[in-house]
Amino acid sequence: MGETLPLEIERLLVVDDEVPILHALQRTFEAAGFAVTACSDPHEALETLSKQAFNVISVDYSMPGMTGAEFLSRAKQIQPDSVRILITAANDFSAAVDAVNKGEIFRILAKPWNRSELLSCVRQAFDTFALKLRNRQLAQLVHKQNSELAELNRGLERQVQERTSNLLDGMVAVLDYRDTETQWHSRRVSRFTCRIAHELGVTDPRELRTIEMGSLLHDIGKIGVRDAVLLKPGPLNPEEWVEMREHPRLGWALLQRIEFLRDASQIVLQHQERFDGGGYPAKLSGEQIVLGARLFAVADTYDAITSDRPYRKAQPHEAAVAEIRRVAGTQLDPNVVEAFCRLPESEWIAIRGEVEQISLLEAQWGWTPPSRVFDAFREAAIKQRAEKKIPSSPAAPTAHDSGAPQG
Ligand SMILES: [Fe+2]
């Protein structure tokens, strides 16, 4: 029975095996303005119910072959939304009450009925039906509006993420204007770090995002280092090293002003610490160093060894793995090193390839493509990888920070 009943039509089905009573009820209800269908056979009435929708059903309790309670129970299965009324003689009342208690019936009316009581009962039944229907429509409307609101929130979330990424791109680019090539080193290291984090079992998107942002901005404090020190072609003297070693603290202080970067600022502050306590600025060791900074240190070391430097060519993957294993437990966290060693070279080639594609695009366009372009390249690289069309790793641009000695 798929018919939907509009509220303005008040359709009533009346069932009574005693035809004179049936007609009396029909006349009463029609006089009150209801659209009445009268049936003296309950089986025929069930047939009618399967073809036409009714707001209210009124039935006599005592009928041959089927009680009114049984009839209403089956009527409920055919038209669950209908409001059902049982009319019964006093001697059948207790059996009828049982049917009401099972939740099948809206109201029981005693025979002989009082006309105004009967009409008032049917009026209430129609009002109940209308109320149920309006409640359902309202619930559907609320559900629809909630869905629209959720979609709107998702859109806003996407916008916030995009603007955040653009802001971070801008911050890294500011540093890049002074300390060329840092951007692509930062991009690679940020991706490398997240990949190792994932291998180590970090799956919380918020934590991964913090690790990504902290790694990307690790050297942002170099904005506060003077050109005479930052861009000095020769070795730094002890005083200059003191100034250079301020950059983790400067970066941390800068990010304190931006609420969503406060967690990432810990990675920036600790990115030059060593696992054995020999780093700076606070000489933290072991798990005193936040996980993101320990992860970063491995990715940074790998990128430094496998990238070209002014004083030496890029080393092969195997050489980087051997060096990273050698310094596990001193410079680097051995657990992180273990996770790093589980990843095949193809992973690093793919990440390097993604970043290089973006750098080529930037050279063509003259500006940094938005993060969604970067993501599109990542997806393309993943697809390429799946199709085994990855070329061998070309040499990457030089990165300032990762050359020896560390900045
Ligand atoms: Fe640094």
> Distance, CA 401 to ligand 1 centroid (Å)?
6
Number of domains, the chain: 2
**What is the phi/psi pair of residue 391, to 5°?**
-75, 165
> Distance, CA 377 to ligand 1 centroid (Å)?
27
pLDDT at res. 391: 40
> Distance, CA 265 to ligand 1 centroid (Å)?
13
For residue 108, give the 3-state DSSP assignment.
strand
131 falls within a domain? yes
Lookup: tokens for 289: 């160093």
Greatest Cα pair distance, the chain, in angstroms, is 115
Give 202-226 pLDDT, tens digit per residue: 999 999 999 999 999 999 999 899 9
In this prediction, residue 403 has a pLDDT band, given cuts at 50, 70 and 90, of very low
Contact by Cβ (8 Å): 28, 115: yes
pLDDT at res. 161: 79
Ligand 1 is an ion; residues with CB less than 5 A from it? 219, 401, 407
Is this model's pTM higher than 0.85 or not? Answer: no
> Distance, CA 320 to ligand 1 centroid (Å)?
19
**CA–CA gap between residue 345 and residue 320 (Å, rounded):** 11
Q: At residue 393, does pLDDT exceed 50?
A: no
> Distance, CA 312 to ligand 1 centroid (Å)?
20
Q: At residue 402, does pLDDT exceed 50?
A: no
The CATH code of the domain that includes 355 is 1.10.3210.10
**Does 213 share its domain with 136?**
no
> Distance, CA 278 to ligand 1 centroid (Å)?
15
399 falls within a domain? no
> Distance, CA 198 to ligand 1 centroid (Å)?
23
| Packed helices 42-49 and 68-78: angle between N→C axes, nearest 10 degrees | 10
**Does 244 share its domain with 308?**
yes
> Distance, CA 244 to ligand 1 centroid (Å)?
9
**Does 45 share its domain with 124?**
yes
> Distance, CA 169 to ligand 1 centroid (Å)?
18
**CA–CA gap between residue 96 and residue 287 (Å, rounded):** 74
Give 257-307 pLDDT, tens digit per residue: 888 899 999 999 999 999 999 999 999 999 999 999 999 999 999 999 998
407 falls within a domain? no
User: What average pLDDT does the chain have?
Assistant: 85
Lookup: tokens for 403: 């050359």
Give 225-256 pLDDT, tens digit per residue: 998 998 888 899 999 999 999 999 999 999 99
**CA–CA gap between residue 149 and residue 20 (Å, rounded):** 57
C-beta neighbour count of 305 within 10 angstroms: 20
C-beta neighbour count of 326 within 10 angstroms: 12
What is the domain range of residue 103? Answer: 11-144
> Distance, CA 75 to ligand 1 centroid (Å)?
77
Q: Which residue is associated with the tokens 């791109």?
A: 169
**CA–CA gap between residue 161 and residue 124 (Å, rounded):** 54
Give 345-387 pLDDT, tens digit per residue: 999 998 988 888 877 776 666 655 555 555 665 566 556 656 6
Nearest to 59 by CA among 37, 77, 78, 30: 37
